């Protein structure tokens, strides 16, 4: 039986984060657009928690500016960490960037890394929620963003957030709303993705983990995701599945056409239909091969 999944083409994206000087960041995004990448993404954290003292531009203002410097590819945050914004503010930011980008925005939302990983909570005095509360808040935030972007006026009464006749005008360019990209790794957040997301995104495993662990984790999460979709009567194939490729795999993917195809095949066999590579993912001497893969190999893979 044909499902919605059959209508979802394979997409290739790049996560080019905001730790580059602004002129260089613009050139990188424009370069990847010219090479035909489907999407490009930035992060949305208070600091780069892998290197907190490094230069780091704010996510949504940077994304708005980059939207005005590109014309074709999909853009978004991978992902916005919910502890740092009220969902109504996030929805209005998303609506605004959807207009600036002429309807190219994808809204990435996730529960955010815990304080043991991200020092932003200590820096800002924002609460580092327990896991259970973090998952509950994620559900409410995603529901609020979904509701606000679909309607001119919205109200919401939740455990953590409340809205009363919140107005969202002029509304987004994309109808019924820009796609929601929900990061989910535990069962509670996978349920949220199953209910609200247009795209589920995962990083597979911790940085440096072998690809066998990434495959195992991804298989397990997809199994739960499919089960939760079926439980609510949703066709699991209607949900795009995106994987952030980083670490050793990203750094070697563009060493040769054969290795790139091997990595793509490994994850498309699991049901992944979007691969986002974490930049920089090639050495300077690999640039000719990277451009060849981008211009010749990727278009062939999209059609296969």
Report how many domains make up the chain.
1
Helix (H) / strand (E) containing 164:
strand 162-167
Residue 89: CATH number of its domain: 3.20.20.30
Per-residue pLDDT 10s for the chain (304 aa) are 334 444 479 999 999 999 999 999 999 999 999 999 999 999 999 999 989 999 999 999 999 999 999 999 999 999 999 999 999 999 999 999 999 999 999 999 999 999 999 999 999 999 999 999 999 999 999 999 999 999 999 999 999 999 999 999 999 999 999 999 999 999 999 999 999 999 999 998 877 788 899 999 999 999 999 999 999 999 999 999 999 998 778 888 899 999 999 999 999 999 999 999 999 877 778 899 999 999 999 999 998 8
> Whole domain around residue 105: which residue ranges?
4-303
Q: Regarding beta strands 162-167 and 153-157, do their DSSP bridges make them parallel or antiparallel, or are they unpaired?
A: antiparallel
Contacting residues for 155 by C-beta, under 8 A, at least 6 apart: 163, 164, 165, 166
Helix boundaries (H) for the chain: 22-34, 59-67, 87-100, 120-124, 131-150, 187-196, 211-231, 248-252, 257-268, 287-292, 298-303
Distance, CA of 235 to CA of 238 (rounded, Å): 6
Based on C-alpha coordinates, what's the Rg of the chain?
19
What's the pTM value of the predicted model, to 2 decimals? 0.95
């Amino acid at each position: 039986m044909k499902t919605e999944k059959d209508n979802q083409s394979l997409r290739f994206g790049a996560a080019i984060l905001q730790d580059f000087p602004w002129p260089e960041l613009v050139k990188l995004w424009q370069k990847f657009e010219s090479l035909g990448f489907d999407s490009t993404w930035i992060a949305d954290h208070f600091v780069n928690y892998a290197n907190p003292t490094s230069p780091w531009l704010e996510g949504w203002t940077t994304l708005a500016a980059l939207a005005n410097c590109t014309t074709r590819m999909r853009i978004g945050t991978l992902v916005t960490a919910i502890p740092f914004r009220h969902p109504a503010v996030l929805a209005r930011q998303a609506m605004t960037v959807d207009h600036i980008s002429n309807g190219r925005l994808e809204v990435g939302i996730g529960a955010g890394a815990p304080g043991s990983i991200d020092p932003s909570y200590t820096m800002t005095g924002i609460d580092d929620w327990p896991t259970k509360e973090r998952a509950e808040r994620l559900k409410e935030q995603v529901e609020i963003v979904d509701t606000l972007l679909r309607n001119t006026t919205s109200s919401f009464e939740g455990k953590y957030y409340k809205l009363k006749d919140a107005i969202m005008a002029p509304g987004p360019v994309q109808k019924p709303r820009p796609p929601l990209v929900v990061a989910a790794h535990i069962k509670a957040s996978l349920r949220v993705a199953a209910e609200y997301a247009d795209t589920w995104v995962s990083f597979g495993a911790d940085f440096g983990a072998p690809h066998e662990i990434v495959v195992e984790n991804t298989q397990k999460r997809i199994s739960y995701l499919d089960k939760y979709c079926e439980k609510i009567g949703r066709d699991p194939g209607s949900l795009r599945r995106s994987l952030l490729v980083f670490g050793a795999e990203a750094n070697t993917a563009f060493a040769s056409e054969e290795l790139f195809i091997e990595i793509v095949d490994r994850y498309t066999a699991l049901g992944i239909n979007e691969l986002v590579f974490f930049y920089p993912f090639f050495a300077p001497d690999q640039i000719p091969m990277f451009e060849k893969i981008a211009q010749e190999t990727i278009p062939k893979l999209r059609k296969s």
